[in-house]
Structure 1
Amino acid sequence: MNGITKAAEKENLKVGTIQFSQLKEIPEEFLREKIPVKEGDVYSNKSLSEIYLALKRLNYISNVNVYPQQEGDTVNLVVEVDETANALEAAQRAETAQDLTKKTEFVVSKVDVKGLEKISKEEALKNVKVKEGDQFVPQEAIDGAQKIFQTGLFASVEPSVDREANNTVAITYIVEENPIVKDIEISGNTLFTEAQLEQALGIKEGEILNGNLLNPDNNGIVKLYNKGGYTTARIETINVSKEGDIKIGLTEGMVDSVVFKKVNSKRENERTTEYKAKLRTKPYIFERSQSVKPGEILEAKNVEATIRDLYRTGIFTSIEPVVSGSETDPNARSVEFLVEERPTTTINGSISYGTSVGLVGGLKLADTNFLGRGQEASINLEASNKGDKTFDISWFDPWIRNTERIQAGGSIYWRESVDDNAGPLDVEKVRKIGTRWTIGKGLNDKIYVRLSARYDHYKEILGSKQINDKYNLIALTPSLIYDSRDNSFAPTKGIYSTLTYEKGDLIKDKRKYDQFEADLRAYHHTFFKDKNVMAYRVVWGSTGSGTPDALRFSIGGAETLRGYEYGKFEGFNKFHATVENRTQINKTLQFVTFFDIGNAWQKSTVVGGRKINTPDRHGASKFADLKKGVGVGIRLNTPIGPLRFDYGWPLDPEEKGGQKTGGEFYFSFGQTF
């Protein structure tokens, strides 16, 4: 059942009072017991037909019309009936019948139908089980009348049993055929023409009326609207005259208002205040994702699109649509989206340990819904006992207000990374200070183009403490992004891919720098449905032969190749791929298994006491000596954001022909990808 169908059910219209009019002999309470719809029941299109059919099959009622009148969340019903002659006597006779299901000593000598004009006897009796020569059972004769009526071609069917000689009985069904359809009048329609609705209904002028086609369970009009996604359309009135005039009144369900309302989490409910009851997210964030518009017919695809686009912002954990009617306008639908906001602000100090990076302390202030504007902002400070240090400030707006999907952002950073396993000729320490600024444009809701510019100052220091390299880099990076994920922070389906090319200039340096990277990610549910997700990632990168050591690719660690140390494999080309299975245990805990594979390729030689790295394009083209790792992990959803704990085991030695090392433990925030 899709999202909008659930919403239609939540209108919660109830049957109010049920009144009968035009009664002459039969008591109202007597007829009230004959209908399956009771006061207080849930109201639907089916309520009208159930009353109509229940009373029309009574042989003492000749005609029935049902008029619904909505008052708020209740629908009062006025049932207009025409009694036959001596209706009370007929009703009493029906009520006092005894032992209708027992076989009698009589044998059926004849089964006949009277009152036929346009319908053949064979067609009328084709579903009647009682046959000539059968032992007479009164209930079977009555059931035969019902079978005849269920063909939909008769306004009334009354069985008559006449006793004859030799212990036989003759069964005669006295029928009144439905009128020939003279005219069909449909009101309230705007989406489909009257001709389209008549065709969908299946009732044609000049043909005998089949009353079954007016039953909402088999009503072509409602089915046509449902097929088009207009699932709150409903038939309000059905009126059939003896002359064959059919009048159908329907409402298509026009959106009267759209409201977004906060639903507090359990934690927030414990300390609800007026402030906590308000949505933190600004109204314009909702408006630009809102496909449901006042003044338009409510359509399932627009409700689903609104929910999908809001989820894709990553700001919300739950979005539930509720549709209600209007007290004054039966065609109006009020749509309310009940949303639960994800905790997006994190202010935390942390101490963690990773096998490769050692003990890490950090202080981070971050918000992925900064000031309720859907922006990402963070300040981060980290340091490890192995010498790694990081300080950065960043901000990014994925959709600037009052623009056509314009994006912008920037960051300023200072980083120092240390490789405590570096030899005297290896780069042991890299210091970088710089800034990056980005502007982008969404071509639609899935495709984006971006252009980034950065300026960095690098300093590389060897294990011998000598300076290996110093340079200033200025670079431009165009990129193309495709993103169909259902949630940017915790995707369960969709594709995310990027193509990035960076062209840079080392100021006052003859070396040339350029770099290309392709990144493809995909997500889908398994046969365990919402509880289990498969996630895949494949990355390929290549950089020019003049690329300095600090700008080369590195593989290994929590984000690329688990089971190995951070940045263990370096090169001018890289490849890595990941397959993850993510099982949601509950709202707080997720269990993960993974398989990683990859490597980076380069050749190293020592010239004049210096280690020189050059590309190994042949090894890269052959995907030589790929390293593999497997492992398990857990994800904890906390008020400060999702925490990630992984442990990976290497399946290959770090050096070809060497010994495999032990596993590696990793701690970080968010999903791997």
Structure 2
Amino acid sequence: MAHSAKRCRRASWHFPLIAILLLVSAAQISAQAQKVVAIEVKGNNAISTEAILSALRTAIGADLSQQQVDEDRRSLERLGFFHEVTTYVEPAPGGVKVVFSVVENPKVTKIEITGNTKVPEAELRKVMLTQEGAVFSEATLEKDIAAIHKLYREQGYALARVTDECTLTPEGTLKIPIAEGWIEAINVRGNKKTKTRIILREMETKPGDVFDARQLQKDLMRLRNLDYFEMLDFQPADASEPGKVVLDVNVREKKTGTVSVGLGYSSRERLVGFADITEHNFRGVGQQIGLRWEAGQFTNRSGYEFSFTDPWMLGKRTSLGFQFYNRTTNRPLLTNVVLNSAVQELNTWVFERRKGLGISVGKPAGEFTRLLLDLRSDDVLYSTVPGYLDPDQDAALTDQVLRLSDGRVTSATLRGVRDTRDLAINPHRGAFYSVSTELAGGPLGGTWSFGKIGVDLRRYFPIGRAKPDGSNQKVLATRLMAGASIGKMPLSEHYWLGGAETLRGYREDEFNGTRMLLLSTEFRVPLGTSLQGVTFFDCGYAWPRNQGLRLGELKPAVGLGLRVITPLGPLRLDYGFGTDGGRSHFSIGHVF
């Protein structure tokens, strides 16, 4: 009996529970069958009832769906304006009324932005949706934070973040602290020859600065143009505390000096014997030094040249360079000269022996601009090349004419250079502009007094898409050179056009004069990792002083070329077609 009583008691406990479940189920079934006849919003003050209702999908006249009511509650929560949202259903004539009760967030009485040093507060407020006097919304704040991050990224500050301390105080002050990503330290890795300070001095970015991707790109371009490294990149690393970063500068050095002795061939000197020492990172401190001795078959004379440049004199970005030289060059000379009040035609090959020294000082005048002052003093002596005098020409007269160009040239040249090329040795984009004014004689002394003005304008346009490292980038390169002069000027100071470095398809220095114009265009196409094909068009001429400037006399040339990319620069082979046929040219480096 005891067992039976126990089972009855258990059964009597189950009966009320079953009854309750049946009642709830019946109520739910009844509710699901009922129509929504009214929707009420309670508790809202700043947020209008219309704005709240527009966020709901529960509609008057529809069957009541608790699932939809719950989804509407979550939708209101996602608006971000409410601290709490509750719902309940009340009986109403003809159906039920759904009530949405909300507790609004406090109003934002003040927005306080801190930590911003690179982006003005006014610019930050422009991208924010949250306004003072409006109800605080977490959803809107999330959009504001994303907009602030985007604004910083667009200006190059890729590591800037709104910190986790972003809060709304009980008084309604919205505090937005920003960590802009300060650079704690810069570590240089991989340099064995180049001194660390030499690398760091080229960078505008310093420890304590905000991580600026745009400035770092400029620093990277400046370091690449040093031509000390075959690999160079920047990598951010974790710092000792949040909001800061360590910048690793990773390099792999390449050879920056050459020593060569041997025989070579040039379009100008034919067979050449030479000894050459160059180093453009002397002692690992960035100094440039060069020594060359050369003897040419055509000139049958030897020459030498020594140069030295310190790009950072006394630890400042002021360059100082000097050179002294004694060299002989052969030139074809076809020109008209005035001698004894008569015009005489001169047609011969001449030796130009130039001995002198030069000093150059340069100083930055902007981010990409430098001003340079060049001083030089040359002693120049001319002579005819045996066996190359026109048989119909008087040798004594020729010698008399050449003596008119012997003497000393002492001059000062002021140059302004703006260089925005991405890579000076093999540019893909950017520009190089140079404007110069030279004055000779007068207070400087020397045999002649004259003035010259010149421009050298180059632009580089990337064509099509390229790999991230730019290794397969097609490039359209253009150049305009022009020059003019006043005063009495010797042959050594004339503008000389023709040959590998100026007007291809013609002899070296085939044209000379006191005014000059040269236009060049190249289309450069990669043919592999170290080979480049080129098509080019050159057009230019040099006019003597006693001849008018006639553009119809411009000499055109078209041609093809190959560039073999080496650590020393591109080895260049061109074949140009001028008005008198084709001619090959070989040299080192791009023409421009």
TM bin (shorter chain): 0.7 to 0.9
SS in structure 2 opposite 1:564?
A: coil
SS in structure 2 opposite 1:540?
A: strand
Larger radius of gyration: 2
Q: Report how far residue 448 of structure 1 moved.
A: 0.9
Matched residues, number: 527
Match of 2:310?
A: 397
Which consecutive residues of structure 1, in runs of 5 or more, have no partner in the other structure? Answer: 1-103, 262-276, 603-614, 653-659
Equivalent pair of 2:258/2:278 in contact (CA under 8 Å)? yes
Equivalent pair of 1:216/1:222 in contact (CA under 8 Å)? no
Match of 2:372?
A: 449
CA displacement 1:641-661 (0-9 Å, x = unmatched): 3211212112x2xxxxxxx32
Equivalent pair of 1:645/1:665 in contact (CA under 8 Å)? yes
Equivalent pair of 1:473/1:504 in contact (CA under 8 Å)? no
Q: What residue identity is the alignment partner of 1:124?
A: I
Equivalent pair of 2:149/2:160 in contact (CA under 8 Å)? yes
Match of 2:410?
A: 475
Match for 2:583 among 660, 664, 668? 664
Q: What residue identity is the alignment partner of 2:583?
A: E
Q: Structure 1's 517 and 357: CA in aligned 2 closer, same or farther, altered over 3 A?
A: farther
Distance across 2 between alignment mates of 1:163 and 1:363: 106
SS in structure 2 opposite 1:150?
A: helix
Equivalent pair of 1:354/1:665 in contact (CA under 8 Å)? no
Matches within 5 A, 1:330-369: 330-341=242-253, 343-348=255-260, 358-359=270-271, 362-369=274-281
Are 1:211 and 2:138 counterparts? yes
Distance across 2 between alignment mates of 1:194 and 1:598: 55
Match of 1:521?
A: 457
Match of 2:501?
A: 559
CA displacement 1:88-133 (0-9 Å, x = unmatched): xxxxxxxxxxxxxxxx877655444344343222111213344334
CA displacement 1:234-285 (0-9 Å, x = unmatched): 2222344677565554423333222333xxxxxxxxxxxxxxx324333443
Match of 1:497?
A: 434
Q: Report how far residue 313 of structure 1 moved.
A: 3.9
Match for 2:569 among 631, 641, 647? 641
Q: Report how far residue 595 of structure 1 moved.
A: 1.0
Are 1:259 and 2:172 counterparts? no
Q: Structure 1's 418 and 541: CA in aligned 2 closer, same or farther, altered over 3 A?
A: closer
Q: Structure 1's 501 and 244: CA in aligned 2 closer, same or farther, altered over 3 A?
A: closer
Match of 1:84?
A: none
Equivalent pair of 1:433/1:458 in contact (CA under 8 Å)? yes
Distance across 1 between alignment mates of 2:46 and 2:105: 10
Distance across 2 between alignment mates of 1:402 and 1:317: 26
Equivalent pair of 1:393/1:413 in contact (CA under 8 Å)? no
SS in structure 1 opposite 2:564?
A: strand
Q: Which stretch shifts more, 188-197 or 491-500?
A: 188-197
Q: What residue identity is the alignment partner of 1:501?
A: E
Q: Structure 1's 116 and 225: CA in aligned 2 closer, same or farther, altered over 3 A?
A: same
Distance across 1 between alignment mates of 2:331 and 2:111: 84
Match of 2:359?
A: 438
Distance across 2 between alignment mates of 1:498 and 1:193: 38
Q: Structure 1's 217 and 360: CA in aligned 2 closer, same or farther, altered over 3 A?
A: farther
Equivalent pair of 1:575/1:598 in contact (CA under 8 Å)? yes
SS in structure 2 opposite 1:147?
A: helix
Q: Structure 1's 352 and 134: CA in aligned 2 closer, same or farther, altered over 3 A?
A: farther
The RMSD of aligned alpha carbons is: 4.0
Higher relative contact order (CA 8 A, sep 6+): 1
Distance across 1 between alignment mates of 2:370 and 2:122: 41
Query: Normalised by the size of structure 2, how large is the TM-score?
Result: 0.75
Q: Report how far residue 672 of structure 1 moved.
A: 0.8
Matches within 5 A, 1:526-605: 526-528=462-464, 531-543=473-485, 546-602=488-544
Equivalent pair of 1:346/1:639 in contact (CA under 8 Å)? no
Distance across 2 between alignment mates of 1:637 and 1:132: 77
Distance across 2 between alignment mates of 1:284 and 1:640: 24
SS in structure 1 opposite 2:76?
A: helix
SS in structure 1 opposite 2:276?
A: strand
Equivalent pair of 1:344/1:641 in contact (CA under 8 Å)? no
- Quick one: percent identity of the two aligned structures? 25
Q: What residue identity is the alignment partner of 1:453?
A: R
Q: What residue identity is the alignment partner of 2:461?
A: H
Q: Report how far residue 516 of structure 1 moved.
A: 1.6
Match of 2:7?
A: none
Q: Structure 1's 284 and 278: CA in aligned 2 closer, same or farther, altered over 3 A?
A: closer
Q: Structure 1's 136 and 664: CA in aligned 2 closer, same or farther, altered over 3 A?
A: farther
Match of 2:285?
A: 373
Q: Report how far residue 543 of structure 1 moved.
A: 4.9
Distance across 1 between alignment mates of 2:420 and 2:140: 43
Match of 2:9?
A: none
Query: Normalised by the size of structure 1, how large is the TM-score?
Result: 0.67
Q: Report how far residue 596 of structure 1 moved.
A: 0.5
Q: Structure 1's 579 and 186: CA in aligned 2 closer, same or farther, altered over 3 A?
A: closer
SS in structure 2 opposite 1:512?
A: coil
Distance across 2 between alignment mates of 1:577 and 1:495: 15
